[in-house]
Amino acid sequence: QMTTVEMEQRVVALKEKFGNRLLIPGHHYQKDEVIQFADITGDSLQLAEQSALNTEAEYIVFCGVHFMAETADMLTSERQTVILPDMRAGCSMADMADMMQTERAWSELQSLFGDTLLPLTYVNSTAEIKAFVGRNGGATVTSSNAKQVVDWALKQKQRILFLPDQHLGRNTAYDLGIGLEQMAVWDPHENRLLTEQDPETIKVILWKGHCSVHEKFTVENVMRQRELDREVRIIVHPECSHEVVQLADCAGSTKFIIETIRKSAPGSKWAVGTEMNLVQRIIREHPEQHIVSLNPDMCPCLTMNRIDLPHLLWSLEQIEQGSPVGIVKVPSHIQREAVLALDKMLHIV
């Protein structure tokens, strides 16, 4: 049994040994014990772009969740191997839209709307769903560029189907001036639109998915923080519900949250509605400000947190021994179509 210090030393030694043959991207929600070894850190968009730019690393040990590793695999070359240090690091939101449900929804929606519909998917989705979107002319979006991509999409077609996060879809469309009465939720379990209104009036169809972390930030949390301190500003991720985002002072991607707080004056007071590891890191990096989690219970992304120091070390050791495990390889027929959707996004933004 190795101590933490021994494990850290071993990771340092292996990183030195591999040099540029190894790249470790780390998402902002990763634990500090992992993020300290990341060569690049960022939100989903930054990590996708940075991975695409890297051509020399033979091994990309992706500290994030499965859909991010898939994206990195699709945007890097054939020679590069993407590894997820724990295959159980999935995303509950991505799992809320599977291919069968999506094909079924699409055929139903085609009969309602014909050719007036363009699909978009949040990058928090499987490569298969991205491929579905790609072959139907749509694009992926991230929380950093959702507004630009949805705006683009609504110039291409009369209406959009937004997968799989209803909240990011609703919050983004609302920001673009689309009223809630022009949006309807698609329930993949009931296989129908949850609305009584005339389908003709609907511009945005929201897949009934959500993030189990961000749904834990509630209207009551916002009220409570404001009761405790009238000066506190509330900043949340757009995966939070529409009600919470509307009540908040500002909302935006992980990168937006980090930068907004970084730029604010000493003594500023913030209650932050996003994943626990990131909130704790922001608190530590800004002792000159008063920062708390919007939900005092703290909300970890349990699947992200499956990647820890022992798993990181283990996957590096497997590479060293010449038998890498946890390889994420998207089949080429899926990759071909999914890349269409990813490229579209990267060109729009």
Residues annotated within the binding site for [4Fe-4S] cluster are: 91, 211, 301
Alpha carbon separation from 215 to 6, 47, 76, 192, 283 (Å, rounded): 38, 24, 33, 23, 21
Task: Return left, alpha or beta for 205; rule: phi > 0 is left, psi -120 to 50 is alpha, else beta.
Answer: beta
Q: How far is the CB of 168 from ligand 13P (least distance, A)?
A: 9
Selected range binding ligand 13P among 138-146, 181-189, 308-316, 325-333, rule: CB under 6 A: 138-146
Task: Return left, alpha or beta for 237; rule: phi > 0 is left, psi -120 to 50 is alpha, else beta.
Answer: beta
Q: How far is the CB of 121 from ligand SF4 (least distance, A)?
A: 13
Q: Does position 253 bind ligand 13P by CB under 6 A?
A: yes
User: Of these, 54, 76, 101, 142, which contacts ligand 13P (CB under 6 A)?
Assistant: 142
User: Of these, 11, 213, 276, 338, which contacts ligand SF4 (CB under 6 A)?
Assistant: 213
Instruction: Dig out the tokens for 330 from the structure.
Output: 């998207």
Instruction: Dig out the tokens for 232 from the structure.
Output: 């506190």
State the binding partner of 43 from ligand 13P, ligand SF4, none, CB within 5 to 8 A by kind. Answer: ligand 13P
Q: How many residues bind ligand 13P (CB under 6 A)?
A: 12
- Contact pattern for ligand SF4 over residues 248 through 277, marking x by CB under 6 A: ---------------------------x--
What is the chain's alpha carbon radius of gyration, rounded to the nearest angstrom? Answer: 21
Angle between helices 66-75 and 332-348 (to 10 degrees): 90
| Residue in 195, 196, 201, 134 with CA at minimum distance from that of residue 163 | 134
Per the annotation, binding residues for iminosuccinate are 27, 44, 122-124, 143, 237-239, 254
**CB closer to ligand SF4 out of 57 and 342:** 342
Which 3 state secondary structure label does DSSP give 64?
coil
Q: How many residues bind ligand SF4 (CB under 6 A)?
A: 12
State the binding partner of 253 from ligand 13P, ligand SF4, none, CB within 5 to 8 A by kind. Answer: ligand 13P
Per the annotation, binding residues are 27, 44, 91, 122-124, 143, 211, 237-239, 254, 301
User: Of these, 81, 212, 260, 289, which contacts ligand SF4 (CB under 6 A)?
Assistant: 212
Which 93-112 positions form the footprint of ligand SF4 (CB under 6 A)? Answer: 93
Dihedral, CA of residue 223, residue 227, residue 228 and residue 229, to nearest 10: 100
Q: Does position 124 bind ligand 13P by CB under 6 A?
A: yes
Q: Cα(61)–Cα(95) distance, rounded to whole angstroms?
A: 22
User: Of these, 35, 91, 272, 307, which contacts ligand SF4 (CB under 6 A)?
Assistant: 91
Q: What are phi and psi of 202, to 5 degrees?
A: -85, 130
| Residue in 64, 75, 57 with CA at minimum distance from that of residue 15 | 57
**CB closer to ligand SF4 out of 128 and 159:** 128
| Residue in 238, 261, 271, 280 with CA at minimum distance from that of residue 29 | 280
User: Which spans of this chain sit near ligand SF4 (rule: CB under 6 A)?
Assistant: 65, 91-93, 124, 211-213, 275, 301, 303-304
